[in-house]
Amino acid sequence: MEIPPALLSDDDVFNAVAETAAVARAAHLRQLRLLAEVLRRGLDTDTFQRLVRADPRDLKRWTAQVSLFLPSLSPTGQPLPPLHPVTGAVLEELSDGHLTALARAIALRLPEGSEEILVEAARSVEPKAVRQLADRIRDRAEQDRVDEVDEPAADPGDTLHLRDLPGGRLEFLRRTVRRDRGAVHRDARTALRTTAGRPA
């Protein structure tokens, strides 16, 4: 028999909140797995939508989560891993909101390694923070691309080399050394620590 919240101690209230959140995550994952089976069998998705009383946009969002994060079967029945196994490996820890934020981030085509950073964040912060972190990674990557095009000729990271040419002439060669290589992920991890360190 469930104890009414008014009769719980302060610690028990928060324990119940955590338990309820875990149940909600498990229920969402179960629903995604059932939707995956509906899609695999070619069953009527309108019936699924009616039974769960979902809006069409909800069904579209869940279908995207199924295609990105759940394992599937090949036409010959062979099991296939998720398209994004980093997220797929921790589905039990992620809510619908977190999976939506991660699916959005994947659509942004972020630099390699970004998904690992975002999943790490999703396990400890709210979906809004994951979206903000993804945007920060995207903005930094775009800025790096601009810097590669517009890098000043006298960049302090440049090094000069001499090359002997026929006739006793010398040619100066400049080789650019990018000091910010890998800065996208360093910056993202800094943002992750900042985001995870503040109260949710």
Supply the pTM of this predicted model: 0.74
List Cβ neighbours of 101 (8 Å cut-off, separation of 6 or more).
118, 122, 127, 128, 130, 131, 134
What pLDDT sits at residue 29? 98
Q: How far apart are CA 192 and CA 186, in angstroms?
A: 10
Q: What is the pLDDT along the chain (200 residues), one digit of tens a residue?
A: 789 999 999 999 999 999 999 999 999 999 999 999 999 999 999 999 999 999 999 999 999 999 999 999 888 889 999 999 999 999 999 999 999 999 999 999 999 999 999 999 999 999 999 999 999 999 999 988 887 776 665 555 545 454 555 665 544 454 444 444 455 555 555 555 555 555 44
Other beta carbons less than 10 A from residue 146's beta carbon: 9
pLDDT at position 199, please?
46
Count of residues in the chain: 200
What is the model's pLDDT at position 173?
Answer: 52
* Predicted pLDDT at 172: 45
Q: How do the domains of the chain map onto residue ranges?
A: 1-83
